[in-house]
Structure 1
């Protein structure tokens, strides 16, 4: 009944998407307002990332069950969006996303496919890991169509798309898939790794790969830094988490050198940790990005303990650092 009532509310309050090239001299302004839902902000940002648009500024507001989000975006060359096809795609896709909050396994630009088999794996990182996995797949007469691998804090996660060498399509033979899983898990199993490696195989991909990699490394607890005196990292993100008792929120601020998809990585982590963003501001300049979010847990309460505060800090740091290893 609650689900049907939510659908009724959305039908009575259709979303509004405005794309304007006149308001700002340097960027295209995109305004989205409508009924809010958990994960909707992430879905909207993911549409922008799918088109390789850069978010230079953003203002987020979603109190009272409704959202009004404003994004200042440019093409990768720093210019406004002028292509009518791109503008029409943005208009229709954002309206669809704002009308129906999809399940957390769905994503823009991703559809179920029988053209390839999707392999997801996590385990201990080491030199040559991807080569060893590829060698196993070659021995099993599989072609690697594409692969994305992230490594962070001595952990590795990868999503690979493979096809049968003879047919060129997805691999569906249960015995062959079972053998593939057994051999790759043996490769993933490190001699000093106390964590069990994980692998799943599917011919029915249903999630954007970068979103999935974030989830896989988060589940693998890559935010736990190795206790090694030789472990060094590049410039750490400056993440602060503060009480905002007068407004009953938790304030999260991030400072980090600006790069594409930074906002996506942060909002993805907050969403997967079951937090809602009620207000937010994103400002970028030539050297640094500043992002500020006012959040609550989906149960409606702000962060209530020092342990939870520290967990949010280390998880956001990990989400920002992961992309540096993308290949």
Structure 2
């Protein structure tokens, strides 16, 4: 009998492609290079939406992105983030570091470790086993609308477990998670879900007059509520909710509101304008006098990009809002530069549409400008922030919002969450008549409504900003990025190889 011989394959052969080309995704968290912040470097095979996914992970862990450099040409994604924690310090919590690495998918260890899950539960404020029915609502806003929605759900015997609402340019978007009032379980009966949708849609469409929108259609058309079925807790992270709020606002065209009615201006020149000739971007008044939100678009013809530039007051989650909007509008970000200084942010994005084309028409440029401005504005709320926690009970949110409405206050933003037996509420409110808000009267009315035997923790914060702020010279990487894209990409590659 002949001896059969088989060729020998080294077990390391399967790892050869990775050893040659590197891992498909790699992250490095560096606390040594800079004194005041942590550097997060991501090196990965590129795909549409990857930048947004990374930004979502960093935002979910409550990190502030103060600077970022992005390059994703030739199918490879290379990004550097300078981040700080909630206290403005370096990132030291090893659980956070492990979670970021595992969430982005760069570590070779167990991706679902108990520590990472425990930290995720703490950050996202959910229980992994919880399930709720999600309801999405969008339409024209009016004073007391959020209170009417809360009352309608209470009348329908629905317990509001969590709710988030944004109001902007006379439009409202709301995402709520509900359960059955008696059983505290998700609502699955199709007939009951249809009844809830119809009831809430009627509330949204209950306008006193049927005005016509900018396209000539009735303004109350398109206002609706949709149940989204069961939502597991681990799918309901805050950035996912906020992305959906952005999408709902976009669907009702809040960017066509009064604050975006001025004419836009964009430059089609392939080279930067001389520094002695000021650009004329579309500017919106911010909360600070002398500060504007400015967005403008230029063409980078030699590379086939459109360069979107943004200047505005810096704040947390700003990069998430702008990247989210561009991604949901079906634009691909190839290169970007993000920086902030003296509470002022400057962002540049080199983009193309997913079909590979740059922004060629003035109408398309104007729409992108308006949508980005709206995305920046939605989270900025003028008025008083009211925070309070109390023992949860059926109809609590309805009673609270009714007290605010009876005191002449309009809710312009709301974040409601249930934590065990307590409910934690945060509202941004303003006086409907434009008068100063007397929160002592509101607090007294709130405690009277809750009853003397129900403890309630009440906190008021005025988010109004001062009128003066230091000016600074604008630092732009636009010229360098437009004329030397290859050099930047090469620098990224060199930097990654040196890690």
TM-score normalised by length of structure 1: 0.88
**1:261 has 2:317 as partner:** yes
**1:223 has 2:255 as partner:** yes
2:260 and 2:294 mapped to 1: Cα distance? 22
Residues 165 and 39 (structure 1 numbering): CA distance in 2 closer, same or farther, change over 3 Å?
A: same
Counterpart pick for 2:365 among 302, 306, 309? 309
Corresponding residue of 2:224:
198
Corresponding residue of 2:470:
none
Could you tell which deviates more after superposition, 195-204 or 18-27?
A: 195-204
Residues 111 and 133 (structure 1 numbering): CA distance in 2 closer, same or farther, change over 3 Å?
A: same
Residues 27 and 92 (structure 1 numbering): CA distance in 2 closer, same or farther, change over 3 Å?
A: same
CA contact (8 A) 2:314 2:344 kept: yes
Residues 59 and 280 (structure 1 numbering): CA distance in 2 closer, same or farther, change over 3 Å?
A: same
Corresponding residue of 2:184:
168
Where do 1:54-93 residues align within 5 Å?
54-93=64-103
Counterpart pick for 1:240 among 296, 302, 305? 296
Q: Where does structure 1 differ by over 3 angstroms across 4 or more consecutive aligned residues? A: 9-13, 108-114, 226-229
CA contact (8 A) 2:310 2:348 kept: yes
Tell me which structure has the larger Cα radius of gyration. 2
Q: Which runs of 5+ in 2 are unaligned?
A: 1-16, 108-122, 211-218, 262-283, 287-291, 382-412, 415-499
Residues 323 and 227 (structure 1 numbering): CA distance in 2 closer, same or farther, change over 3 Å?
A: closer
CA contact (8 A) 1:112 1:204 kept: no
2:106 and 2:152 mapped to 1: Cα distance? 41
**1:178 has 2:184 as partner:** no
CA contact (8 A) 2:293 2:311 kept: yes
TM-score normalised by length of structure 2: 0.58
Counterpart pick for 2:139 among 107, 110, 123? 123
CA contact (8 A) 2:305 2:358 kept: yes
1:203 counterpart SS class? strand
Identify which of structures 1 and 2 has the higher relative contact order when contacts are C-alpha pairs closer than 8 Å and 6+ apart: 1
Corresponding residue of 2:161:
145
Residues 96 and 112 (structure 1 numbering): CA distance in 2 closer, same or farther, change over 3 Å?
A: farther
Q: Which runs of 5+ in 1 are unaligned?
A: 1-8, 98-107
2:131 counterpart SS class? coil
Corresponding residue of 1:23:
33
